[in-house]
Structure 1
Amino acid sequence: MALTTLELPYAEGMVWFKKVRHLAWPMLLESGRVDAASAQATVDEEVGLGARFDIVVAAPVAKIMHRHPTTQVHANQTIHHTEENPFQVIQQWLTPHAVDRVADIPFAGGALGYFAYDLGRSIERLPTLAAEDAPVPELMVGIYDWAIVVDHHLGRSSLVSHARFSDHATLHALHQSLLQSSPAPEPVAFKVTGDLQHNMDQAAYALAFQKVKNYIRAGDCYQINLAQRFAVSVSGDPCLAYDHFRRLSRAPFMAYLQLEDTAGAPLAVLSMSPERFLQVIDRKVETRPIKGTRPRHADPVLDAQAAEELLQSEKDRAENLMIVDLLRNDIGKVCEVGSVKVDALFKLQRFTNVHHMVSIVRGLLAAKFDALNLLRGCFPGGSITGAPKLRAMEIIEELEPHRRGIYCGSIGYIGFDGSMDTNIAIRTAVISNGSMRFFAGGGVVADSDCSKEYQETFDKASQFFKLVAHFKTTN
C-alpha cells in the first residue's frame, strides 16, 4: 500500500507533540539535534551517530501492556488478557499489516513504546528479592497508524501513514487540525516538592561493591553493572520537566512518553539516553554499546585530559571489549553466520556532562528472524547488566535495593516495514504517583575502585540533579 505523506511546516518534534498530547498515549522520540551555535557538546562525527529524525505519535489503535505473566491488549473498546509471550502479541499486530520500507521515513506506523528492564522476567527465570515500591508495567507499547516525522537534514515535517487502520479522510482531518494554531491549555506548573533521596549511601554501596568483587573472585561473573536509585516528590505537568531537561542536555536517543498504566494512573517517562541498543534497517543490524565514562570539565585542558585518560584506560577498554563480545554473541543468535562484525572499537563520544567510550557492532538478520526476535534475544542489553548476562541479572536482583523498572530497559519502535530503532533506557526518569525516580550506575570489574565507581553514579545523574534544583528553586 502506498504511503500517504501530508506535508507540514518544518518544526522540531516537541512543537508537534504539544499539538497532539491531548490524544491518548502521545509519545515523542527525538534525535538530540543541537543547533550549530549552541555551546553544548554533540556526539563525535567519527562515531557516526545521526541527529536526523524526530518522531511523534498519538492515539494508538491498540495499547499493549504486560506485567508478568499477563499481557493486556486494549483495542476496539475491549480489553483482552493473554499469557502469550508479549513479543509475539506485538508481532501479531505487525505481521498482517507488513509494508515495504520507504527511504528517508524511519517510522510510518507500527509498535512504539517502552520495554522495561524487568521484562527480562518474562524471558529468563530470575529470583524475586529487590523491593518493588513503585511498580509500573513491564511493557507499554502502542500500535500506531500514523506518525509525524521531522527530518532535520531535509528541513521538513510530514504526517505519514500507510493507512492500515485509518481512512484517508481521517488522516486529512488530522492534517488540517495540525495546521491550525489553536491555543493549548495552560499547563500546571511542574514543582519539586521534597528533598532528593537515594537508596544507597556510600557505606551501603561499598558493601554491595565488595560483594560484587567477591563474586568476581569466585568466578561467578566478570562484570556487574551496579546502580543506585534517586527519588524526589514532584507535582504538576511532567512535560514541562522534559522540555526543560532537553534544553539542559541533548542526546542521540531522547524520548518523552505520556501514558496511563493498567489502572488508568498517569505515567510519564523522560529519557536522555546516549546509547543505541538495537537498530534494524533492511535487515541490517547495529548495536552501539557504551562502556567507559569520565566527567566533563569547563576547563578545556582538563576536559581534553579526561577524554584522553578514558581512551587510554586499559580497565575501560577491557570493560568495553567484554560487552562487545557479549553483544556479538547475542546478535549472532539471529544473524547470518559470519555477518557479525565489530566496525568501531573504543571511540570517544562527548556529551554535555560526560565523555563515553562507544563501540559499534553490526550484522545481517537471518531470513527466518525478524526485529522482535532480535530484541527478545538480546534483552536486556548486556552493557547495563554485566557478563555473563543471566548471572549478572541474578546478582543485580540480590544487591540493588529496588527493582529497576524501566531503567536499563529500552525505548523505541518496530515499524510495519520491519525496521527497528531502540535505545538503552539510561539517563531516564519515571514520574508517577507524585514521585520522580531515576537511577545511575556503572560497570564493576576486578580492578574497579569503589570510591570512583560511586562518584561515577553521581556524574551520570548530574543533569537530573540540575533539573531537580531548577524546579525546586524557581517554584
Structure 2
Amino acid sequence: MRIIKSKSIPDKTNLLKHLLDWAKPDSTSCLLTSNGHTDPYGKFDILLGVGAKTSIHIKSNHAFSELSKYRAQVQDWLLGFMTYDLKNEVENLQSANLDGLDFPDLYFFQPLKLIRIIGNTIEFLYLPEVAADIEKDFELIFNSSEEKEKVVENYTTPKVKVRFNKDAYCAQVDKMLDHIYRGDIYEANFCQEFYAESKIDPLKSFLHLNEISKAPFAAFLKIGSKYALCSSPERYLCKRKTKLISQPIKGTARRSNNAIEDLKLARALAQDPKERSENIMITDLVRNDLSKLALKGSVRVEELCKVYSFKQVHQMISTITANIDPDTDPITCIKNTYPMGSMTGAPKLSAMQIIEDLENSKRGLYSGSIGYFEPNGDFDFNVVIRSLLYDAEKPYVSFTVGSAITAQAIPEKEYEECLLKAKAMRETLEA
C-alpha cells in the first residue's frame, strides 16, 4: 500500500526540468507527460517513477507470460517499455538485423517513489519504506534544484550518419511496392535509422526535443546507461476499466508559420486520398486486432481520419474502441494487439516479414511502447516514434523514422516524409 500525500505546486516554471534534475542521481526513472494536451482518456499531466523496488528485465522468450506473472505478484504501479521485437513471441518471426543499442526486449519496474501531477497539484505516492522522504523531496524538487552544483561537460555536435542513402532507400521502397503489386501486402511501414557514435546530454536533449514538439505521449526513460527521449504523438493502447482505446496515426503534413497556409495544409491532409487510404487500412487492422478479445459487437470507430495539429506536423488519427470482459488479463489485451498496426502494415504478419527483410537495422525500442500499469489493471502505452534512443556507455545515439508504403507511394516523396519526421530529432542533436 502506497502512502499518498498531496501538495500545491509552487508558482515556478520549468517543472519538467525540476523533476528530472531531482531524479537524475537514480539509475532508474521514467517520466510521462501529456504536455497539456486535452485527452478524455488521460489521468494526469505528468507521471514520474524513480527507483526500482522490484523489476522485470527480459531478453528472451516468454516475455508476455512473465510480465503477467510479475504484475499479478506485485499488484502495484509498474512503469516501463516493450520493444517492437516482441513480435517474435506473437508470431514465428525473428529480428536478425544490426542492433546498435541492445535494449532488453521488455523492462518494467515497481517505483519506490511515484509522483503524479494533475493541474496545480503534486501527489507523492511513495512505498512505506521511503515515505519519510516526501517532505524532503518536495523541498529538493522545488526549492533546491537551482542551487545544486552544476557539473559542466562539453559535448560536440554529433555527426549523424545514415543506414540508407536516398538512392538505397528508394530502391528498397521499390521492392516493397513489388510486394504490394503482387498482392503479398496492401501496406507496410518502412523505416530507416539515423545514428551517431557520440555523447549527448540526455536530460538537456529531452527538454529541447520536448519543447519543440510538445507531444501528448512524451516520455523520458532511464535504465542504467540506456535512455529513451520520446516525443510521441501517438497512443498505442489504453485500458479504462473494461474499455480499450487505440489511436493509430497514418498521414502527416508539415506545419506553416502562416496561419492561412497552415489551415490549407491541414485541410489538404484531411482530403488526401492516399493518406486517408493508409489510415483506413490501419484502422481496419486495429479493429480486427481488438475483435480478438472484444465483447461481441462492441468494436467501434469513434473517429475516422481526424486531423490533429502538433507543433511540428499535422497528423491524421483514428480512434477505435472496444469493450472487454472484466476478467480479461491486461497483458492479454497487449499481446493480442502487438505490435501496433500503424508500425507494421496489412496483412500484419506478411508486412512484418517483409519489413525485416528490407530494413537494415533492428528496431528495438523504436516502434515499441513506453507506458504504465495501474494496480487495478488500467494501463496506457504510447508508440515510440519521434524519439532519440541513447546508450551512454557505448556511446551511441539513434533515431529512426518511417512512412507507410501503399500502391500509391512515390519513393522520393516517402523519403521526403521521413526527413520531415526526422527534423525535430536532428534539430535537437544539432542544438
Q: State if a TM-score over 0.5 links the two structures.
A: yes
- Aligned partner of 1:172 among 123, 129, 132: 132
- Aligned partner of 2:363 among 378, 394, 404: 404
- Aligned partner of 1:337 among 289, 296, 300: 296
Aligned-pair CA distance for 1:383: 0.4
- Aligned partner of 1:26 among 25, 29, 33: 29
2:408 is aligned to 447
SS at match of 1:4: strand
- Aligned partner of 2:56 among 52, 57, 64: 64
Q: Distance in 1 between matches of 2:53 and 2:261?
A: 52
- Residue identity matched to 1:17: L
Q: Distance in 2 between matches of 1:245 and 1:281?
A: 29
1:180-209: CA deviations, max 9, x gaps? Answer: 444434245462444211111111111111
2:241–2:326 contact (8 Å) kept in structure 1: no
1:190–1:235 contact (8 Å) kept in structure 2: no
Task: Map 1:278-427; keep pairs closer than 5 Å.
Answer: 278-427=237-386
1:31–1:51 contact (8 Å) kept in structure 2: no
Q: So what's the TM-score if we normalise by structure 2? A: 0.92
Q: 1:245 to 1:398 in 2, by over 3 A?
A: same
Q: Distance in 2 between matches of 1:318 and 1:177?
A: 50
1:80 is aligned to none
Q: Distance in 2 between matches of 1:337 and 1:268?
A: 41
Instruction: Give the structure with the higher percent helix.
Output: 2
Aligned-pair CA distance for 1:158: 0.9
1:32–1:51 contact (8 Å) kept in structure 2: no
2:396 is aligned to 435
Aligned-pair CA distance for 1:97: 4.9
Q: 1:51 to 1:386 in 2, by over 3 A?
A: same
Q: 1:362 to 1:132 in 2, by over 3 A?
A: same
- Aligned partner of 1:206 among 155, 170, 175: 170
1:91 is aligned to 68
- Residue identity matched to 2:66: V
1:160 is aligned to 125
2:157–2:430 contact (8 Å) kept in structure 1: no
- Residue identity matched to 1:171: A
2:88–2:95 contact (8 Å) kept in structure 1: no
Q: Distance in 2 between matches of 1:228 and 1:398?
A: 13
Identity rate, percent: 28
1:125-172: CA deviations, max 9, x gaps? Answer: 2144422233221112112254100112xx1111025x4xx34xx313
Structure 1 unmatched ranges of 5 or more: 34-42, 70-84, 99-108, 261-265, 471-475
Out of 179-188 and 377-386, give the one that drifted further. 179-188
1:390-410: CA deviations, max 9, x gaps? Answer: 111111111111011111000
Q: Distance in 2 between matches of 1:257 and 1:272?
A: 12
1:192–1:232 contact (8 Å) kept in structure 2: no
2:4–2:123 contact (8 Å) kept in structure 1: no
Q: Distance in 2 between matches of 1:461 and 1:429?
A: 10
- Residue identity matched to 2:4: T
1:38 is aligned to none
Task: Map 1:256-271; keep pairs closer than 5 Å.
Answer: 256-260=220-224, 266-271=225-230
1:8–1:156 contact (8 Å) kept in structure 2: yes
Q: Distance in 2 between matches of 1:362 and 1:447?
A: 29
SS at match of 1:132: coil
- Residue identity matched to 2:72: T
Q: Distance in 2 between matches of 1:224 and 1:404?
A: 15
Q: 1:126 to 1:194 in 2, by over 3 A?
A: same
Please provide the CA RMSD for this pair. Answer: 2.1
1:253–1:272 contact (8 Å) kept in structure 2: yes
2:198–2:395 contact (8 Å) kept in structure 1: yes
Aligned-pair CA distance for 1:8: 5.3
Count of aligned positions: 422
1:110–1:145 contact (8 Å) kept in structure 2: no
Q: Is structure 2 residue 430 aligned with structure 1 residue 466?
A: no
Q: So what's the TM-score if we normalise by structure 1? A: 0.84
Structure 2 unmatched ranges of 5 or more: none
1:193–1:233 contact (8 Å) kept in structure 2: no
1:385–1:392 contact (8 Å) kept in structure 2: yes
Q: Is structure 2 residue 8 aligned with structure 1 residue 4?
A: no
